[in-house]
Amino acid sequence: MQVLDNIISNANKYSPDGGQISFFLKKTADQIEISISDEGLGIPEEDLDKVFDRFFRVDKARSREMGGTGLGLAIAREVIEAHGGRIWAESNKRKGTTVKFTLPYSDLPEDDWE
């Protein structure tokens, strides 16, 4: 839940007023992939991997006025990786950013639901 909260908070913070935030879930035999997309300014390609580093800010001036600590995506990465998953970002300049992550998945027999 913390992972979703951190990613959605970032999407909300960096989206324009009235912008859409989209969610997508894809399930395969052994994993799920969740995508969260916003309509913000986007992230330069050279910074895509850095956004998961502690305290990294793409635009330091704008980030100060918007608040936050620069820890949300770093925490998300630590949680995802601790559960055997992977997290990454894709972005188009001036068209928004999509943060995607995968987690291992397997169906449980109905008897195991109790």
114: in domain: no
- Give how many domains the chain has, as a whole number: 1
**φ, ψ at 110 (rounded to 5°):** -55, -30
11: in domain: yes
Element holding 36 (H helix, E strand): strand 31-37
Domain interval for residue 47: 2-106
81: in domain: yes
Q: Which of 29, 34, 30 is nearest to 5 (CA)?
A: 34
| pLDDT score of 69 | 66
38: in domain: yes
Here the CATH number for the domain that contains residue 51 is 3.30.565.10
Q: Which two tokens stand for residue 108?
A: 């449980």
113: in domain: no
Strand ordering across the sheet containing 86-92: 22-27, 31-37, 96-104, 86-92
112: in domain: no
| pLDDT score of 81 | 97
| pLDDT score of 55 | 81
For the chain of 114 residues, list the mean pLDDT of each consecutive stretch of 10: 92 90 95 96 89 77 58 94 97 91 86 62
CB of 32 within 8 A of CB of 85?
no
